[in-house]
Amino acid sequence: MNDELYGTRDKRGYWKPNNWQLRLPIFTLPFKPILWLRFLFGFPGYFWPWPTVWFGITWIAWRYFTPSLETMRELRLDWIFLIFARNAVLVLVVYGAFHTLLYIRRSQKTDFKYNSKWPDTDNSTFLFRNQTAENVFWAICSGVPVWTAYEAFTWWMFANGNIPYVNFLEHPIYFLVLLALIPLWREAHFYVIHRLIHIRPIYDVIHKVHHHNVNPGPWSGLSMHTFEHILYFSSGIIHFLVPSHPLLPMFQGIYNALSPAKSHSGFARVMLGDRRSMPGDHYFHYLHHKLIEVNFGDRLIPFDEWFGTAHDGSLEADERLFKRLKDNKE
């Protein structure tokens, strides 16, 4: 596949997809049922492929690599360490696969790469003067422990009856509805905390760590200050309030932990051979890393359009951004 057929690259090496639309088709008027069904069940769509992939990983991890509820009635380091080890392996495998394919083997060179430059290897901005090394450090040494702490505490709460346990066989529709709503809740939660940590001085102390990655790669997705990790993974707390099955907060944790590898890959498409590719246009979030004060959420819920912070990569959007920043200073 040739990225020139799908977009253009300017003199500075920035690639932009053609015919890219800021708003998802489901938010266009008049209402079109076929577009809704295609979005929900098509490829790519709301359920397939990625949410289904994350749920499949969740089920396997729950079925084969999670201690029993009886074991988790007491907070002990042995079973907590098992969960930590499992989570660390998942991060290493998923993030490592994207990084190896795209940045070590460079199997598709810079085709579909938004920024033609590769991660910095001698830049004092980063720990160890290396972008990837800093990203891996924050992901493994902060992201995985915080994720594990939330998950272990949640399991302990379920094991001791502090969270109402909803049996799937008794309430399958309720279970499936909650499962289907998790991506929406995750997006709403992410937008709120993301706007919060862009407030100075919070940004300067905390979120700036993530924004070291102007040219993100897969490992950039989970490269955050520890306090940001605490906020980011806190979306699972909703299951302390809503009767649930432990598989659901576990799915939410895995979704939060693993999906940033894809959304921060730096590529619009990950090619598998000459014609096939893994879909996923993350130009929207790439623009956030490039321009900082735009696109705080995702396109799943158009918060940025509603609050005037959306950017589609056009010159007109650049002008609106410049005017907004100028007005804010005044």
Instruction: Pick left, alpha or beta for residue 273 (phi over 0 → left; psi -120 to 50 → alpha; otherwise beta).
Output: left
Measure the CA–CA gap between 325 and 311, rounded to whole angstroms: 13
Q: List the chain domain ranges.
A: 53-282
pLDDT at 269: 86
For residue 309, the one-letter residue type is: T
pLDDT at 277: 60
Q: What percentage of the chain carries pLDDT values higher than 90?
A: 79
Mean pLDDT of 82-106: 97
Q: Both ends of the chain: CA-CA distance in Å?
A: 47
Q: Is the pLDDT of residue 247 over 80?
A: yes
- The residue with greater pLDDT, 21 or 167, is 167
Q: Would you say 247 and 239 are in contact if contact means Cβ atoms under 8 Å apart?
A: no
pLDDT at 309: 94
Q: Which of 111-115, 184-188, 261-265, 276-280 has the lowest mean pLDDT?
A: 276-280
Q: Predicted confidence band at 103 (pLDDT cuts at 50, 70, 90)?
A: very high
Question: Could you give the residue ranges of the DSSP H alpha helices within 161-282?
Answer: 172-196, 202-205, 226-232, 247-263
pLDDT at 328: 78
Mean pLDDT of 279-306: 90
Model confidence over 43-87: pLDDT tens digits? 888 998 899 999 999 999 999 999 999 999 999 999 999 999 999
Structure tokens at 280: 């996923």
With residues binned 3-state (H G I as helix, E B as strand, rest as coil), the percentages for the chain, rounded to 5, are 60, 5, 35
